[in-house]
Structure 1
Amino acid sequence: MGAPTLTSSPALRAGVRDAVPFAAAGFVVAISFGISARAAGMPALAAIAMSAFVYAGSAQFAAVAILAQGGSIAAAVIAAMLMNARYLAMGLSIGPSLHGGRLRRALEGQSVVDASWALASRGEGRFDRHTLFGSSGLQYLTWLAGTVVGVLAGAALPHPEALGIDVVFPAFFLALLVGELRSAEAEAVAVGGAIVAVVLGLLAPAGVGILAASAVALVGLRRPRA
C-alpha cells in the first residue's frame, strides 16, 4: 500500500475539523472587516483582495483604522507589517517541521495563521504540517467569504459594535493563548509579552507593541541545555 497522500491524511481532516470553531469566529470577524473597510472608503474589490492576499485579520483592521483616520496608504502598509511581526517568531518555530527546500518551505509557511499554528503544535517545538494545512485552508475560505458578505451586504447589516462583534477577536486570541500555556516557561513568556504589548499599545504607534511582544516570544524558542 502506498503512502497516504495529502488529501487522504487523517491529520489534514483533523485540522479541518478542529478549525471549525475558529473558522466560524473568523467568518463573523471578517464580516466586521468588510463593513469597516467600506466605511473607511476602501473599494469593494480592494477589500476582498486584501483578505484574499493578506489573510491576516489584525493587520487588515490596523490598516483600515489608519485609512479611516485619514492616514496614507504607506502608513497603513507599515502598520500592517508591524502587526504581522508575530509571524517571525511563529515562522522560526514551525520552519523545521515544513518540508523541502527554502522555496517550498516558504510556500508552505504561507498557511501559518494564529489558530492553524496553535492547532498544529505538538509541543516541544514539533508541528504537524498536515494539520496546519487543513486548519488554515478552512479558515481562509470562511475569512474570504465573510469579507465578501461584509463588503456586499454591509449596508443592510447593523454596525459590528452593536452586535458585540468587536469582542470576538480578543476572545479568539485568548482561546489560543490558553491552549498554549503548557509550562511555567510558556506562562512567563505569555505574561511578559502581554505586558509589553499592552504598555506599548498605549504609548507607541499601532503595531509596535506587537513587534516588541513577538521579540519576547522568541525567548520561547530557546531550549535549555542538557
Structure 2
Amino acid sequence: MKQGALSFLPLALGVAIYGFAFGILAAQVGFPFWGVAMMSASVHAGSSQIVAVEQFSGGGALVGAALAGALLNLRYIGIVASLTEILRHAPLPIRLLAIHITGDENWALTMSENARDKTIGAAFLIGSGLVSITTWTVFTTLGALVGSALPDLERFGLGFAFTAAFIAMARGMFRGRGDLLPWIGSFALTVALVLAGMAKAYAIVFGAVVGVTLSALQRRIRS
C-alpha cells in the first residue's frame, strides 16, 4: 500500500486543487460544509458530484441531480470490471473497500503501473485510493468552509489540473496503433455531442460506449 500511496502523491496535488475549487462552488449554491464532506466521503466521484451541484444551481430537482450523477458514474461499471484480475484473490471486505475508494485517477495510475509490472495489484490500488479519497474529502470540505469569500477559481484555469493528469496517465496506458481507433472514436463522438449541445454527462457515457464497442470489435476481428 505504501508504494501506491507514494506514487499517488504527485496526483494528489491536482485532486486537492480541484477539490478545493469544487468545495467553493458547492458552498456558493448553498451546500453546508458538512454536506460536502459527507458527499465526498460517501460518493467519492468528483465528476458526478460536480454535475449534481450544477443541477442544483440551475434549479434542477433532487431526482434530476441524482440521475445525472448516476448516469455519469456508469463508467464505473467498466472500471470495476477491469479490476477483476487485480482483486481476484482479495477477501470480499477488501474488494468492497477497494471499489469504494477507487477513483478515475488512482484507477488509471494502477492500471498504467500494472501494464508495466504485473506484481502491482490490490495493495497498490488501495494505497493510492486511500490517499485519493482522503485528499478529496479534506479539500472539498476546506473549500466549502471558505465558501464565497474567494473568487471563482475556474477563471485561473485550475479546472485543468485533472485534465493534465489524465493526459499524462493516458500516455502511459497507450499500447500502440491498435488503441487509436477506439480512442479516437470515443473522443470524436464525445466532442461532437458536447458541441451539438448535449449535456456533458450524457456525451461522456455515449463516447465511452462507442470506445468500448470499437475495442471489442477489434478484438473479435483479431481473434
Match of 1:131 among 124, 133, 136: 124
Q: Is 1:19–1:116's contact at 8 Å kept on the other side of the alignment? A: yes
Partner of 1:71: helix, strand, or coil?
A: coil
Q: Is 2:51–2:65's contact at 8 Å kept on the other side of the alignment? A: yes
Q: Cα offset for 1:102?
A: 6.2
* Partner in structure 2 of residue 8 of structure 1: none
Q: Is 1:89–1:215's contact at 8 Å kept on the other side of the alignment? A: no
Match of 2:101 among 105, 111, 118: 111
Partner of 1:17: helix, strand, or coil?
A: helix
Match of 2:163 among 150, 160, 170: 170
Q: Deviations over 1:115-152 (max 9, x none)?
A: 2112212229x661111111111111111111111011
Identity of aligned residues (%): 30
Pairing 1:1-226 to 2, within 5 Å after superposition? 12-98=1-87, 99-100=89-90, 105-121=95-111, 122-123=114-115, 128-202=121-195, 203-219=197-213, 220=215, 223=219
Aligned length: 215
Q: Deviations over 1:168-217 (max 9, x none)?
A: 23223322322221222223222111112222233323411121122234
Q: Equivalents in 2 of 1:200, 1:115: separation in Å?
A: 24
TM-score by length of 2: 0.85
Q: Cα offset for 1:100?
A: 4.5
Residues 107 and 134 (structure 1), Cα distance of their counterparts in 2 relative to 1, 3 Å cut: closer
Q: Which runs of 5 or more structure 1 residues have no equivalent in the other structure?
A: 1-11
TM-score by length of 1: 0.84
Q: Equivalents in 1 of 2:102, 2:208: separation in Å?
A: 15
Q: Cα offset for 1:45?
A: 1.7
Q: Equivalents in 1 of 2:206, 2:92: separation in Å?
A: 27
CA RMSD of aligned residues (A): 2.4
Q: Equivalents in 2 of 1:149, 1:104: separation in Å?
A: 29
Q: Which has the higher helix share?
A: 2
Q: Is 1:31–1:149's contact at 8 Å kept on the other side of the alignment? A: yes
Q: Which runs of 5 or more structure 2 residues have no equivalent in the other structure?
A: none
